[in-house]
Amino acid sequence: MVEVKKRWRAWLRAVHRDFGYLAIGFTVIYAVSGIAQNHIEDWGDVSYKATERTFSIPAIADSVPDAIAVETVADAASLGAPQSSTRAGDEIRLEYGNGVKVTAIGMTVTVQTRTRRAFIGIANWLHTARHKKAWKYLSDTFAVVLLYLAFSGIFMIKGRLGLKWRGTILISIGFAVPVLYVALAGGPNNQKDKEAIATAAPPPPIQRPKSLTLSPRPTETTVDANPAGSAVLVPLPPDD
């Protein structure tokens, strides 16, 4: 029993080492995919590789039935029957279940394809455990292993290089960084408010009432009915 008490730190380091080896694969997957998802606004969706090719076909007359027109475009693209299709005038659009889109306008056909990248595409797919029941429990196990690695690392070394001095300082820094960021950034509510303000439509311009222009009052002119020096005509009495 005494020997076990003395060697508990050695057992702790041994298990820490083995769990560290087991966690390498999971850590690489989640680290690389996490970086890619953090920068999706800068790099776009790196899970897929987008390609586009354009070629010409003979013009399809408007009198050609829709089914034959769609088949003509699909055969020219060598993609087979599409999942859905639309036709409007000289424009024909085809969509396939694997994400391929074909657009024919007049005599020009454009084929857009998306293929999942080998590593980063699978890593991003595994990063979110939605609709992956088995992987969800595997990722939970990895999270528990990470917790063990974090807490066991605290007690692996004793003395000034361990929890008594250096370990305490580094642990405090590790907790302080996210706490300070939340305090300085204002938290998630502040970010939502900023996003709402950025995406909100600008207020309509204030309609100021038009100034009323008062027409000048007409000046009153007094006309003397009998100006000085003018002759006054007196009507004569009627003849008897």
| CB 149, CB 13: distance < 8 Å | no
Confidence of residue 196 (pLDDT cuts 50, 70, 90): low
Q: 3-class DSSP state for residue 46?
A: coil
pLDDT-above-90 percentage for the chain: 53
Name the residue with higher pLDDT: 165 or 19: 19
pTM: 0.63
Dump pLDDT digits (tens) for 131-184: 899 999 999 999 999 999 999 999 888 888 888 888 899 999 999 999 999 999
What are the domain boundaries of the chain? Answer: 48-116
Name the residue with higher pLDDT: 191 or 231: 191
CB neighbours of 102 closer than 8 A, spacing ≥ 6?
73, 74, 77, 79, 82, 92, 93, 94, 95, 96, 109, 110, 111, 112
Average pLDDT, the chain: 83
Dump pLDDT digits (tens) for 33-69: 999 999 988 988 888 888 999 999 999 998 999 999 9
Name the residue with higher pLDDT: 213 or 126: 126
Name the residue with higher pLDDT: 237 or 19: 19
Residue 93 has pLDDT above 60, yes or no: yes
